[in-house]
Amino acid sequence: MPDAPSEILFLRKMHPLVEAAFEGRYGVHRLAGAADAEALLAETGPRIRALCVGGAAAVDAALIDRLPKLELIANFGVGYDAVDAAAAHRRGVVVTNTPDVLTDEVADLAIGLVIATLRRIPQADRYLRAGHWPKAPFPLSASLRGRRVGILGLGRIGRAIARRLESFGVAIDYHGRRPQADVPYTYHDSLIGMAHAVHILIVVAPGGADTRGLVDAAVLEALGPEGILVNVARGSLVDEAALIAALKAGTILGAGLDVFENEPHVPGDLAALDNTVLLPHVGSASEHTRAAMAQLVVDNVVSWFEGRGPLTPVAETPWSPNA
């Protein structure tokens, strides 16, 4: 008798490429949309070898404990702050993510947000559509010329953003846990010190408890009245209440945001402000890039089940073929 197929649990609806790749190949169970999610988890939990997750679907220690045969958590996305990777590591479970394949897309969008926020592109579009142009020219905007840009988090995406910024001829600073010897940019050992030095602050650091509220009222005050905040990382890195207060008071000039603290809910006070450009978390949301992310999820799961190990394990759950 042939062995039963390995069983996988989807915590949320996955990309069609993932669904198609696993259907008929493995035993797939879907928690989202189940008539009785608790009953499904109780019945299938003892057999699940892999979880496929993404977005805000949380994987905590309690869920991991309910899956005694769990070996792999395949995260759809480069950020995995919704997964308790430390708890997974304690249980010997490997967590994978989808780095690299979305780097260029998110970096492109970050540059787009910088320019759109400085030059007020959405506001100018609304001005034209409302019929105001025949009455008066659109007001002059700020410019990227003569600006200094600070990047919070010089990882894969941060470096890709910096490379793009070089072509604009702007000075580039960065802040992270440590200086990086192989880049020509100016390092700051404190975020508030960098905020004082730059005109544009781009947030691209990982989310999680260690970075929650990192961009607070003091950082925004240091950024100053000509300052622009752009966030393409996680909404949790920015104190949203402090940001709204700073935008209303003119403490900073404007903000371009692709991420928010309580997605998909955006505070009405933030949405009402005219000195913001707000996007619904679309940094990697092109058909090309989402397909590449989905393929990497598939490749990680298939490689694991075929005994070759994970392709992109996260730092908290390192894997060695000799382990």
Q: What is the CATH number of the domain that holds 199?
A: 3.40.50.720
* In a shared domain, residues 53 and 191: no
Give residue 94's domain range: 7-101+288-305
| pLDDT tens figures, 201-252 | 999 999 999 999 999 999 999 999 999 999 999 999 999 999 999 999 999 9
Can you read off the two tokens belonging to residue 99?
A: 């780095």
Catalytic status, residue 164: no
Domain count, the chain: 2
Indicate the pTM of the whole model. 0.93
The predicted model gives 67-87 an average pLDDT of 96
Q: Is the pLDDT of residue 294 over 50?
A: yes
Q: Is the pLDDT of residue 3 over 70?
A: no
- pLDDT score for 1: 32
| pLDDT tens figures, 179-204 | 999 999 999 999 999 999 999 999 99
Given pLDDT bands bounded at 50, 70 and 90, which one contains residue 323? low
Residues 6+ apart with CB under 8 A from 307: none
Type of residue at 239: D
- pLDDT score for 2: 42
* In a shared domain, residues 273 and 299: no
- Distances, alpha carbon 131 to alpha carbons 127, 128, 276, in Å: 7, 5, 21
**How many percent of the chain have pLDDT more than 70?**
98
Q: Is the pLDDT of residue 119 over 50?
A: yes
Mean pLDDT (the chain) is: 96
Residues facing 95 on adjacent strands: 73
* In a shared domain, residues 29 and 162: no
Q: Is the pLDDT of residue 57 over 90?
A: no
* In a shared domain, residues 54 and 180: no
Q: How far apart are alpha carbons 77 and 63 in whole angstroms? A: 20
* In a shared domain, residues 95 and 191: no
- pLDDT score for 106: 98
Type of residue at 59: V
Q: What is the DSSP string of 282-310?
A: -TT-SHHHHHHHHHHHHHHHHHHHTTS--
Catalytic status, residue 43: no
Given pLDDT bands bounded at 50, 70 and 90, which one contains residue 321? confident
* In a shared domain, residues 58 and 119: no
Catalytic residue among 47, 119, 281, 316: 281
- pLDDT score for 147: 96
- pLDDT score for 235: 97
**How many percent of the chain have pLDDT more than 90?**
95
Q: What is the DSSP string of 132-182?
A: -TTTSPPPP---STT-EEEEE--SHHHHHHHHHHHTTT-EEEEESSS--TT
Catalytic residue among 159, 175, 199, 234: 234
Residue with tokens 């991991």: 64
* In a shared domain, residues 261 and 300: no
* In a shared domain, residues 20 and 118: no
CB 226 within 8 Å of CB 253 = yes
Q: Is the pLDDT of residue 4 over 80?
A: no
CB 167 within 8 Å of CB 114 = no
* In a shared domain, residues 201 and 71: no
Catalytic residue among 43, 166, 226, 263: 263
* In a shared domain, residues 135 and 219: yes
Catalytic status, residue 263: yes
Report if residue 315 sits inside a domain: no
